[in-house]
């Protein structure tokens, strides 16, 4: 039996495979709701479990719709129902689920649990967000950047705020797709030594600072995310530390004139981003949310061998 094609982290892939997946998603987006879309049915007759231990709007709906558009049937399961790693060994859950469904998309905070599930599943497993990474989000972000501003190769992307799961997937992408990623965080909330060492080992152009203005200077894109991610404590401390990293008009002006603003959502106006930026002409946040659907259709097509890469 050949190994299933899991989609766990962008760091597992070559730049060329990521590019092929993105191109497939882009092509399906162009064909969507045309007679041509009839050929995009790699999931015909297949059932894909969508498992959520945490809340979700975008991931839940975009996977549900994407699976249906590709000819498959989604099967929604909440974490409470299966109590992964609690009712039985994760490897047993993986084996049992693999007998019923053709693929598993899961949102679970524990990255090790995701990896354990994938190790024992005989069907593709897709990471729908862990505390460590959010690769599907960054595939949509890459698609959005390139739709707006062309190839990301050689460009400068700035991240300001907390260093979290979305940022980690951006670091992985920087190593694979050859762009510069400048990261501004308070020293107390800087990326882990492990992630920084990984980026260095891969020769990625990842630069760290604690100054948001230094990070965004002349950048093609400013990214941020919530100050309090799922599973985080110390809300007040985080708010105090992160205040200087807010994306506001003054910060946006320090970026390139054509720079776009991106945020994976859900966002909090007045906290990590002002309403003026979030709802302003340089904001690409709703295209980004839409592109979750299209980028993930590329991911699903790859997982189910409908594209060669
Ligand atoms: N961006 C994102 O993953 O959103 P949800 O948490 O709503 O799925
Ligand atoms: N960093 C956020 C992303 C939500 C989509 C979180 O983990 O809560």
Instruction: Check: CB of residue 10 under 8 Å from CB of residue 138.
Output: yes
Nearest CA-CA partner of 248 in 201, 288, 216: 216
What does the pLDDT read at residue 173?
Answer: 98
pLDDT at 230 over 90: yes
Q: Please report, rounded to a whole number, the percentage of residues in the chain having pLDDT higher than 70.
A: 100
DSSP 158: E
Q: Please report, rounded to a whole number, the percentage of residues in the chain having pLDDT higher than 90.
A: 97
Q: For residue 42, how far is its CA from the centre of ligand 1 (angstroms)?
A: 25
Distance CA 103, CA 56 (A): 19
How does pLDDT run across 196-217, given as a tens digit for each residue?
Answer: 999 999 999 999 999 999 999 9
Q: Is 40 in the pocket of ligand 2 (CB under 6 A)?
A: no
Q: Is 136 in the pocket of ligand 2 (CB under 6 A)?
A: no
Q: For residue 265, how far is its CA from the centre of ligand 1 (angstroms)?
A: 6
What does the pLDDT read at residue 11?
Answer: 98
**pLDDT band per the 50, 70, 90 thresholds, residue 261:** very high
Pocket test for ligand 1, best of 129, 136, 230, 272 (most atoms within 8 A of CB): 129
List, in order, residues 6 or more apart from 133 with CB less than 8 Å away: 9, 10, 111, 127, 165, 168, 169, 172
List, in order, residues 6 or more apart from 305 with CB less than 8 Å away: 5, 42
pLDDT at 254 over 90: yes
Q: Is 155 a catalytic residue?
A: no
pLDDT at 1 over 80: no
pLDDT at 2 over 90: no
What does the pLDDT read at residue 184?
Answer: 98
Q: For residue 131, how far is its CA from the centre of ligand 2 (angstroms)?
A: 8
Distance CA 227, CA 241 (A): 9
Q: Is 264 a catalytic residue?
A: yes
Helices (H), 58-184: 58-69, 79-82, 90-100, 111-120, 135-149, 165-177
How does pLDDT run across 94-115, given as a tens digit for each residue?
Answer: 999 999 999 999 999 999 999 9
pTM for the model:
0.98
Distance CA 100, CA 107 (A): 19
Instruction: Check: CB of residue 84 under 8 Å from CB of residue 110.
Output: no
Q: Is 265 in the pocket of ligand 1 (CB under 6 A)?
A: yes
**pLDDT band per the 50, 70, 90 thresholds, residue 51:** very high
- For residue 41 the two structure tokens come to 């049915």
- For residue 305 the two structure tokens come to 């061998």
Instruction: Tell me if ipTM is over 0.85.
Output: yes
Instruction: Check: CB of residue 297 under 8 Å from CB of residue 70.
Output: yes
Q: What is the mean pLDDT of residues 115-126?
A: 98
Mean pLDDT of the chain: 97
Distance (Å) of CA 145 to CA 9, 99, 224: 20, 39, 14
Instruction: Check: CB of residue 288 under 8 Å from CB of residue 141.
Output: yes
Other CB atoms closer than 10 Å to residue 41's CB: what's the count? Answer: 14
What does the pLDDT read at residue 309?
Answer: 80
Q: What is the mean pLDDT of residues 146-158?
A: 98
**Which numbered atom of ligand 2 lies nearest the CA of 166?**
1
Q: What is the mean pLDDT of residues 38-63?
A: 96
Nearest CA-CA partner of 296 in 164, 138, 173: 138
What does the pLDDT read at residue 201?
Answer: 98
What does the pLDDT read at residue 132?
Answer: 98
pLDDT at 25 over 90: yes
How does pLDDT run across 275-302, given as a tens digit for each residue?
Answer: 999 999 999 999 999 999 999 999 999 9
Q: What is the mean pLDDT of residues 166-192?
A: 98
């Amino acid at each position: 039996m050949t190994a299933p094609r899991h989609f766990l982290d962008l760091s597992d892939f070559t730049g060329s495979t990521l590019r092929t997946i993105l191109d497939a998603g882009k092509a399906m987006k162009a064909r969507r709701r045309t007679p041509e879309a009839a050929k995009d049915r790699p999931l015909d007759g297949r059932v894909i479990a969508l498992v959520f231990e945490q809340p979700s709007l975008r991931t839940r709906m975009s996977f549900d719709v994407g699976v249906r558009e590709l000819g498959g049937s989604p099967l929604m399961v909440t974490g409470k129902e299966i109590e992964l790693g609690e009712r039985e060994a994760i490897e047993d859950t993986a084996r049992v689920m693999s007998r019923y469904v053709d693929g598993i998309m899961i949102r679970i905070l524990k990255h090790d649990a995701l990896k354990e599930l994938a190790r024992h599943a005989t069907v593709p497993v897709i990471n729908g967000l862990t505390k460590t990474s959010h690769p599907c989000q960054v595939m949509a972000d890459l698609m959005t950047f390139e739709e707006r501003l062309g190839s990301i190769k050689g460009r400068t992307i700035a991240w300001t705020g907390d260093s979290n799961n979305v940022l980690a997937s951006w670091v992985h992408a920087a190593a694979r797709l050859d762009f510069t990623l400048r990261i501004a965080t308070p020293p107390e909330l800087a990326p882990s030594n492990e992630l920084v060492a990984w980026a260095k080992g891969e020769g990625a152009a990842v630069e760290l600072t604690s100054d948001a203005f230094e990070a965004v200077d002349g950048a093609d894109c400013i990214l941020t995310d919530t100050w309090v991610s799922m599973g985080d404590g110390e809300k007040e401390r985080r708010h105090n530390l992160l205040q200087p990293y807010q994306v506001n008009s003054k910060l946006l002006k320090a970026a390139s004139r054509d720079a776009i603003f991106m945020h994976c959502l859900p966002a909090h106006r007045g906290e990590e981003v002002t309403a003026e930026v979030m709802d302003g002409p340089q904001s690409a946040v709703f295209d980004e949310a839409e592109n979750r659907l299209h980028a993930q259709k590329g991911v699903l097509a790859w997982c189910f061998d409908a594209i060669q890469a």
